[in-house]
Structure 1
Amino acid sequence: MSTIATWTRRHRLTAFFGLAFVLSWWAWPLYAAGVDVVPFWPWGPLLAALVVIGVTDGRSGYRELLARMTRWRVGWRWWVVALGTPLAVLAVATIANVTIWHAPAPDIANMAWADIGLMFAFRFVDPLNGPLGEEPGWRAYAVPRLQRLWSPLRSACTLGVLVALWHVPLVATDRLAAVGIPVTFAITFVYVWLFNRTGGSGLMTMVFHVAQGTISYAALGFAYADATRMDWLTGALWCLIAVGLVTLDRKAWRSAPAAAVAPAPVAHAHV
């Protein structure tokens, strides 16, 4: 056990990413072999972060993670950005789908807003849903440690590749459109940018993630080809936003703010 702990302390990120994949993918081979199991578990990054912190940093690591996931004093503008950007992307894609491709216009007045509000709240506390399963791991844990080694740009590239690969079982089991893989890579830049601009707030990336997926295409009345087109439209918009952030806010990609960088690891941390 001490050998495993020593190795994990020396290779925190490798241990985290490896464990995140194992904890999310463990049932996929069984599913492919015909066993009736859920093939993908989105809580992998959350559990991986908790396990690696327990082995390497103990209470101080948990305090750091909790502080990032509850960092709400970031200024009201960033709350607007976190909540409004995903909704704006969805709105623009919807307008394009209706006006250009003549998809049926959503009946906004008769949408199940109470159910949507309940889903919004539920996604904050459900580890089997994307936001809570991913954000404490990918953003609150991994990004500060990647940025202790590399620039935000290189960190976002690395994380984007890994998170995109992590979603592969969803594509293989028809739970995610194939276009979701490159879009996941692109939107990772938006997440990292938001994380850094809010002083390392995992809460803001959590709010962003919750807002991004709460209103489904079905809730808007889209199905079949219209819903598939929405994947492409929203994906194209996220790619444009990512390119815009990298090209227009170049300073943000050179160095991360101190608040968004993990402290240097303490040798032989108490666990």
Structure 2
Amino acid sequence: MIKRRLVEFGVICLVLTWVPWAVLGVLGVNLDEGVGMLVFSLAASGPSLAALVMWLLYRERRRMVRWSPVWPVAAVVLGAIGPLGACIIGGQLPELPDHAASVVAGAGGVLGAAAYTFLAGPVSEEFGWRGYVQPRLREYFGPLGTTVVLGAAWGLWHVPLYFLNGTGQHDDGLFTAAGVTFFLELFPLTFVMLFVSEKLRGGVPGAILVHAAWNLTEELVPPLGGGVWVELLVMTAVAAALLPSWTPVRTGRRVAR
């Protein structure tokens, strides 16, 4: 039953995302304004919209978030530590204030930057990845197995963006240092989100906060260049440091490892 539901989710998610993106790419629509931006944004919400469709079809209930002062702080720190750590190690910290100020101004101020940060990625994706897929994978896999499967699915979903003119991924290129490290970094980031959402009981809000902190810090720090490899190493080290603290947590029908 769970495997069938995951397949259904995957099909719905890809139809909602890849089909509109393919149409935009073939037609060469401008993604920065008008209908192009609207269609692109709705398609980018495919994971969360697919989770909504599955809930409307089956009305499954999931565990509620347990509020604590721990997971919000941990989510922000763990989400920001990769890009910020690479910035510090690379000696770019003095450039950070000016670059961050220009990014915030370009987004229409603090409120504009905050709104874009949360909506473009965290809210549009995490109800699907961490809210729907992750707990169902945990019925079968431990933390590492869930990380590998979900990280790979998350990366695969992003691939069309590298062929869609007007996206940041297209500008970076698929087979560049930025492109390769992006996909590799999704695995330790997936584990960090799993840790915050499940181990610290932050649920989907915790995953959204990690994702938002990561996205925003990526934008605020100066371009890392070769430092993207440092960022990958920092995130991998963080995930490895968190792994020993994992304890069995009951999810669904059995104790997940």
Give the TM-score of the pair, scaled to structure 2: 0.75
* Structure showing greater Rg: 1
Is there any run of 5+ residues in structure 1 with no aligned partner, and where?
Answer: 1-7, 265-271
Work out whether 1:92 is the aligned partner of 2:89: no
State how 1:174-193 maps to structure 2 within 5 Å.
Answer: 175-176=168-169, 177-179=178-180, 180-193=182-195
Q: 1:120 corresponds to which residue? A: 114
Residues 24-173 of structure 1 mapped to structure 2, 5 A cutoff? 24-36=17-29, 41-56=43-58, 58=59, 61=60, 64=62, 68=64, 71=65, 73=67, 75-98=68-91, 105-107=95-97, 111=101, 112=104, 115-116=109-110, 118-124=112-118, 126=119, 129-173=120-164
- Contact (CA 8 Å) 1:16, 1:49: kept in 2 or not? yes
Q: Between Structure 1 and Structure 2, which shows a larger proportion of helix residues?
A: 2
Deviations 1:63-114 (A, max 9, x none): 53xx64xx251x3222211112223333221112226xxx862236983589
The 8 Å contact of residues 72 and 204 in structure 1, kept in 2 or not, is answered as no
Q: In 2 relative to 1, CA 9–53 (structure 1 residues): closer, same or farther, beyond 3 Å? A: farther
SS in 1 for 2:179: coil
Q: CA deviation at 1:25?
A: 0.9
The aligned amino acid for 2:114 is: F
Supply the AA of the counterpart residue of 2:237.
Answer: L
RMSD across aligned positions (CA): 3.1
Kindly state the Cα deviation for residue 203 of structure 1 after the two structures are TM-superposed.
1.0
TM-score, normalization by structure 1: 0.72
> 2:239: which partner in 1?
242
Secondary structure of 1:23's aligned partner: helix
State the alpha-carbon separation in 1 of the partners of residues 152 and 133 from structure 2.
13
- Conservation of the 8 A alpha-carbon contact between 1:168 and 1:181: no
Q: Counterpart in 1 of 2:32?
A: none
